[in-house]
Amino acid sequence: MISCILTAYKEPRTVGVAIKALIEQDWPEDYEMLVVCPDEETARVVQIFTECYPQVQRLVDQGKGKPAALNLALSQIQGHVCVFTDGDVVIQEEAIAALLVPFSNPNCGAVTGRPISANSRSSMLDYWSHLLTDAGAHYMRMRCSQQQQYLDCSGYLYAARSALLSPLPQETLADDAFISQLIWQQGYTIDYAPKARVAVRYPTTYQDWLLQKVRSSAGAAQTPQPLLADNKKYVRPPEHMRSLKREALAGFRSSLAYPQSRHERWWTWCLFMARVHLWLCVWTELHLKHRSYQDIWQRVETTK
């Protein structure tokens, strides 16, 4: 059996589309879908599916954050592989089948899908979403996967072997980066499935963009604590895929080749400056202010 965990919070307009896209996938074996949401408006939409599809279940969490929601679901999964996704994205056709193929290799511990931007390309923030997913994350994951190096899974769509998972600390800022580190440090590979596409709406204001990126980048800088069960052990030191230095070395050339017009070239240079601002904010939040998960994690409204 395959387990699928979908987390949602105040997303009644999008969660139905997200669940429907998953139901319509060609699952290679039996599956269960655990939808975790604390709010009633989202739950009312989820109930429509639980009444029609026995494989869909709703779990009620206490609204204490995504780590707590994931831990609740992880305590109840039955599948040997667990798929993770969100209630505000749309899984594309045949994505699940592509995501699960690499698990035929017993050394594969996790697989990440490929986010694609659902935004237009007509404004600077919209353009940034395309550049960062195509010339940024896609390029880096392809390179890391081909060289069998560490790579971060994307929280929008990824999967991991259930036996390798452990509870997430409440202070976890980015579950995808935490679980990626957890898998990697146990000696397993993390693969990239570029055909496992998931459409994502990205922020359309600079304030929301910065909120989202500070949260995810700070989370990627965290290192899992030794919370493994007795039958598990770390065999590799932690690694990180995202940093200002890595972006400058790996993404600069591909980013300069991405623009298709004069204003897109200008927007690209603006993004370089914004990324420096971002990493300064991350350093300040983590090393000067020592802010907690509750302080750093803030809801981004323009993606809903």
Q: Which residues contact 99 (CB under 8 A, 6 or more apart)?
A: 83, 111, 113, 157, 158, 159, 193, 196
Helices (H), the chain: 15-23, 40-52, 66-74, 95-100, 124-131, 139-146, 175-185, 206-221, 244-246, 252-256, 262-283, 293-296
User: What pLDDT score was predicted for residue 280?
Assistant: 87
Q: Which residues contact 121 (CB under 8 A, 6 or more apart)?
A: 127, 130
Distance between CA atoms of 224 and 178, rounded to whole angstroms?
A: 6
User: What pLDDT score was predicted for residue 245?
Assistant: 63
Indicate which CATH number applies to the domain containing 208. 3.90.550.10
CA atoms within 13 Å, Cβ hemisphere of 32: 16
Q: Which residue has the higher pLDDT, 197 or 258?
A: 197
Q: Over the stretch 93-115, which tens digit does the pLDDT of each residue have?
A: 999 999 999 999 999 999 999 99
Query: Which has the closest alpha carbon to 22: 75, 79, 99?
Result: 99
Q: How many domains does the chain have?
A: 1
In a domain, 303, yes or no: no
Q: What is the mean pLDDT of residues 118-135?
A: 95
In a domain, 151, yes or no: yes
The answer, yes or no, to whether residue 281 has pLDDT greater than 90, is no
In a domain, 7, yes or no: yes
| Percent of the chain residues topping a pLDDT of 70 | 82
In a domain, 291, yes or no: yes
Q: Which amino acid is at 109?
A: G
Q: Over the stretch 191-241, which tens digit does the pLDDT of each residue have?
A: 999 999 999 999 999 999 988 888 777 666 665 554 444 456 666 666 666
Contact 300, 208 (CB under 8 A): yes
In a domain, 111, yes or no: yes
User: Coil, strand or helix: which one is 63?
Assistant: coil
Distance between CA atoms of 260 and 68, rounded to whole angstroms?
A: 43
Of the pLDDT bands very low, low, confident and very high (cuts 50, 70, 90), residue 283 is confident
Mean pLDDT of the chain: 88
Distance between CA atoms of 133 and 177, rounded to whole angstroms?
A: 16
In a domain, 304, yes or no: no
User: What pLDDT score was predicted for residue 229?
Assistant: 47
User: Coil, strand or helix: which one is 158?
Assistant: strand
User: What pLDDT score was predicted for residue 174?
Assistant: 82
Of the pLDDT bands very low, low, confident and very high (cuts 50, 70, 90), residue 169 is confident
The answer, yes or no, to whether residue 282 has pLDDT greater than 60, is yes
Range of the domain at 55: 2-298
User: What pLDDT score was predicted for residue 107?
Assistant: 96
What's the Rg (C-alpha) of the chain?
18
Query: Which has the closest alpha carbon to 145: 102, 108, 190?
Result: 190
Q: What is the mean pLDDT of residues 72-91?
A: 98
Distance between CA atoms of 297 and 176, rounded to whole angstroms?
A: 15
DSSP letter at 198 equals: E
- pTM of the complete model: 0.88
